[in-house]
Structure 1
Amino acid sequence: MAASLAVAMMAGFTGLSLTNGLSEYPSNYRKIAVSFAAIALGGGIWSMHFVAMLGLQLPFDFFYDAAITLTSALVAILVVGAALLLLHFGKRTRPKLILAGLIVGVGIIAMHYIGMAALQLCKAVYTPFGVTLSIVSSCVLSVAAFGIAYSKRNRRNILLGTIVFGLAVFAVHFIATAATKFSQLLETAKVGPIMSNETLAIGVVLSSFALCGAFLLSTATFLPSETLAAAGPEPSPTQPSNIESNLQPLAPMAMKQIPYELEGRTQFVDAGAVAAIRAEGHYTYVYTQNGHFFCAWSIAEAEKRLAKSNFIKTHRSYLINPTMVKGFERLKDTGVCYFGLPDLAKVPVSRSQLKPVREALGL
Structure 2
Amino acid sequence: MDFLDVSHNTLLVTLSCLVALVAGFTGLSLTRDLGSKPDFEKKVLIALAAIALGGGIWAMHFVAMLGLQMPILFYYDAAITLISALTAILIVGAALIILHFTVRNRFTVCLAGGTIGVGILAMHYIGMAGLELCRAVYTPFGAAISSLVAIALCILAIGIAYGQRTNRNIFLGTACFASAVVSVHFLAMKGTKFVVVSNGSEFGPLMSNETLALGVIFFSFVMFGACLWVGVTYLPRPVQGAQPVEDDVAADPEPLPLQVPCEREGVKVFVSALDVVFVRADAHYTQVYTQDERLFCAWSMTDAKKRLVSQGFLQTHRSYLVNPQHVVRFERTKDSGKCVFSGPDTPPAPVSRSKLKAIQDALASQVSAVRAT
CA contact (8 A) 1:291 1:343 kept: no
Q: Map 1:198-213 onto structure 2 (within 5 A).
A: 198-213=210-225
Secondary structure of 2:193's aligned partner: strand
Computing the radius of gyration from Cα coordinates, the structure with the larger value is 2
Q: How does 1:1-363 map to 2 (within 5 A)?
A: 1-226=13-238, 235=244, 260=263, 271-273=275-277, 288=288, 293-294=297-298, 324-326=312-314
TM-score, normalization by structure 2 = 0.68
Paired residue for 1:314? Answer: none
Equivalent pair of 1:149/1:161 in contact (CA under 8 Å): yes
Alpha-carbon distance in 1 for matches of 2:84, 2:110: 24
SS in 2 for 1:20: coil
For the Cα contact (< 8 Å) 1:17–1:222, is it kept in 2? no
One-letter amino acid matched to 1:13? F
CA distance in 1, matches of 2:246, 2:308: 17
CA drift of 1:319 comes to 8.9
Gap runs ≥5 in structure 2? 1-12, 249-259, 300-305, 322-368
Distance 1:216 1:155 in 2: 16
Deviation at 1:224, TM superposition (A): 3.4
CA contact (8 A) 1:145 1:162 kept: yes
Specify whether residues 342 and 291 from structure 1 end up closer, same or farther in structure 2 by C-alpha distance, changes over 3 A only.
farther
CA contact (8 A) 2:153 2:180 kept: yes
Rounded to whole Å, the distance in 1 between the matches of 2:50 and 2:68 is 27
1:38-96 CA distance string (max 9 Å, x none):
01000100000000000101111110010000000000000000000110113211100
Aligned residues: 285
- 1:116-146 superposed Cα distances (whole Å, 9 cap, x missing partner): 0010001001111111111111000000000
CA displacement at 1:325 relative to structure 2: 2.4
How much does 1:266 deviate?
A: 8.5
Q: CA deviation at 1:188?
A: 2.0
Q: Identity across aligned pairs (percent)? A: 47
Is the Cα contact below 8 Å between 1:46 and 1:76 reproduced in 2?
yes
Residue pair 1:275, 1:320 contacting (<8 A) in 2 also: no
1:298 maps to none
1:211-231 deviation per Cα after TM superposition (whole angstroms, max 9, x unaligned): 00011111111233349x9xx
Rounded to whole Å, the distance in 2 between the matches of 1:28 and 1:186 is 51
The separation in 2 between residues aligned to 1:144 and 1:259, in whole angstroms, is: 32
Q: Which stretch has the larger CA shift, 133-142 or 186-195?
A: 186-195
Q: Distance in 2 between matches of 1:90 and 1:261?
A: 23
Shift of 1:267: 10
CA distance in 2 between partners of 1:216 and 1:153 (Å): 20
Tell me the SS of whatever aligns to 1:29. Answer: helix
CA distance in structure 1 between the partners assigned to 2:236 and 2:59 by the alignment: 29
**Corresponding letter in the other structure for 1:74:** L
Q: Aligned-pair distance for 1:180?
A: 0.4
Cα distance between partner residues in 2 of 1:147 and 1:291: 29
CA RMSD across the alignment: 3.7
Give structure 1 stretches of 5+ with no counterpart: 240-256, 277-284, 296-317, 327-337, 345-360
- Please say which of residues 21-30 and 152-161 is displaced more in the overlay: 21-30
Deviations 1:4-42 (A, max 9, x none): 000000000011111011112111111111011001000
CA separation in 1, counterparts of 2:166 and 2:83? 34
CA contact (8 A) 1:42 1:80 kept: yes
Deviation of 1:294 after TM superposition, in Å, equals 4.5
Q: Offset at 1:293?
A: 1.5
C-alpha change, 1:86 and 1:3, in structure 2 (3 Å) is same
Distance 1:237 1:319, change over 3 A: farther
Change (3 A) 1:195 1:145: same
Alpha-carbon distance between aligned partners in 2 of 1:140 and 1:12, rounded to the nearest angstrom: 16
